[in-house]
Structure 1
Amino acid sequence: MMKCLSCKEEYSGRDVGTCRECYEEAGETEEELKREIEDLKTKVNFLRLHTVVAGPNYATTRPNAPSFSDVVLVASDSADPHLTFPPIPAHRAVLQISRSPVFRAMLENKMEESLSGTIKISDVSYDALRAFVSYLYTADANLDEHMACELLVLAEKYEVKHLKTYCEKYLMSKLNWENSLAYYAFAHQLCAKSLLDAALSLIVDNMDKLTKQVEYMELVEKDPRVVVEIYEAYLSKQVNTAATENPTPKS
């Protein structure tokens, strides 16, 4: 029997040093450190690339060194097609290896965005797109409920799973009876399962108040399928509760 130099526990094996558990733990710590270093590097690149210039209504982002940027993202608002926003500079390499397989495929193949160096993103506010690009560099975002909803849409569209989870958790922390139906319908559109389940649980627990919500009649008209699913979940809960309280006697 050998004694581990890290935990001092005995273990079987021929090699003197660390036991298997300590070896695997050390390996995991090393991988975590590597990821942390890579995150720090991308943050430094982001800070070098951007300078925030305060405007009268919003903050604009301009590159310190345009030669470092080889792609730009442009926000467009379909509600007002004449409204233009400053392009947001970025690096192809960062977008390709960041957290979006959609961007990676877009830029690795000879698509229009790859050839022109311009990625147009529709139906998004400038501030949300800017926060989205910032997240791809820093894995961090300053959220309020409106921003979390906008970023959740972008996260689903560009398959940024970590950002989707991040926004879902934030919205779940803000979940209450008043917004539960609206968030349930919103989560249903985006396949945001965690937010969907949390909102549905709250709704089912308050079914006696459901029809009094303004959003209820709107949902009945726009998407009755969602309303049916709510009632199905409620009936399923009732059946399960009855089965638990009155178990079938064994013969």
Structure 2
Amino acid sequence: MPPRRPPVEMASDSDSENEVVLQCLSCEEEYDPKDAGTCKECYDEAKEELKCKNKELEELKCKNQELESKASFLSLSSPVLNHSFSFSTGLLLLLPADDSSASPIPAHKNILVNRSPVFKAMLESDMSESQSGMIKIADVSCETLRAFVNYLYTAEACLNDQMAGSLLALGEKYQVKHLKTYCERFLISKLNWDKSLELFDFACKYNCKQLRNESLAVIMNNMTSFTKNDYYDDLVESNPMLIVEIYETYVRNQINTAGFH
């Protein structure tokens, strides 16, 4: 929309020579003098346009922050993976401990050390992994471990619900905060009522504050169907204290809404 110009005062052909009619220069329609410099329709249109632009700016700001975070994560030294390297030149092998048929996955020591405080402590000590050049990781599939190593190099991963959960668990275990946040955002984007209870349980287990709050908000909005959620019986069996916490939160919200203290 072009910049606003002062409204035009137009002489009226009716009643009095001193009577003026104000004309909106956006749409050239007459408007009520009580309106603030433009007709209501143009004002509402400009307001909505401004709202959309502010939303676009906020989205760009978020994308910029994500790119800055990714650049910071990748700014550490990242030599090209070369399978001809030996352990003495810095190449280690990661292996799923529960899959004897899996092929070892190579990764550079400096990448593991720079990306993860846990790997740093492990590889800069006298632990067996630092001596053998082989790191066995339990409770992980070969596919997930390969995606984990790839993320340490690229800060990217091809996610679905299962992969996001598995990688987030590894991000928590090895304190790769960037990966954990990346997966948490993905799970939040897929959040709905059907998944809310399971994701709330998952978020509590892996200390995901934002996912926990978002899933709890969905649960609070669907408390009339709480016990009908497919995950309800599982949670009652595995972690009944979370059920208690949800009910306590709901009651507290009801009290606050009613204005009681």
User: TM-score scaled by structure 1?
Assistant: 0.70
The answer as to 2:151 corresponding to 1:135 is yes
Q: Contact between 1:183 and 1:199, CA under 8 Å: does it hold in 2? A: yes
Q: Contact between 2:198 and 2:231, CA under 8 Å: does it hold in 1? A: yes
The answer as to 2:165 corresponding to 1:149 is yes
1:125 to 114, 130, 141: 141
From the superposition, tell whether residues 134 and 168 of structure 1 become closer, same or farther in structure 2 (CA, over 3 Å). Answer: same
Q: Give the structure 1 partner of residue 108 of structure 2.
A: 91
Amino acid at match of 1:195: L
Identity %: 48
Deviations 1:33-90 (A, max 9, x none): xx56954962xx34x43xxxxxxxxxxxxx3x2335521100133xxx6x42000011
CA apart distance, 1:145: 1.1
Structure 1 counterpart SS, 2:237 = helix
Aligned length: 191
Q: Give the structure 1 partner of residue 192 of structure 2.
A: 176
Q: Contact between 1:73 and 1:121, CA under 8 Å: does it hold in 2? A: yes
The structure with the largest alpha-carbon Rg is: 2
1:5-154 residue pairs with structure 2 within 5 A? 35=71, 39=75, 42=78, 45-46=79-80, 48-49=81-82, 63=83, 65-67=84-86, 70-77=91-98, 83-98=100-115, 100-154=116-170
Amino acid at match of 1:76: A
Query: Whole-Å Cα distance in 2 between the matches of residues 39 and 130 of structure 1?
Result: 21
Query: Whole-Å Cα distance in 2 between the matches of residues 147 and 121 of structure 1?
Result: 16
Amino acid at match of 1:241: T
Structure 2 counterpart SS, 1:198 = helix
Q: Give the structure 2 partner of residue 18 of structure 1.
A: none
Amino acid at match of 2:85: P
Computed over aligned residues only, the root mean square deviation of the Cα atoms, in angstroms, reads 2.2
From the superposition, tell whether residues 36 and 154 of structure 1 become closer, same or farther in structure 2 (CA, over 3 Å). Answer: closer
Q: Give the structure 1 partner of residue 180 of structure 2.
A: 164
Query: Whole-Å Cα distance in 1 between the matches of residues 73 and 214 of structure 2?
Result: 35
Deviations 1:172-227 (A, max 9, x none): 00000011111111111111111111111100110000111231122112211010
From the superposition, tell whether residues 120 and 37 of structure 1 become closer, same or farther in structure 2 (CA, over 3 Å). Answer: closer
Which 4+ residue blocks in structure 1 deviate beyond 3 angstroms? 35-41, 66-69
From the superposition, tell whether residues 154 and 114 of structure 1 become closer, same or farther in structure 2 (CA, over 3 Å). Answer: same
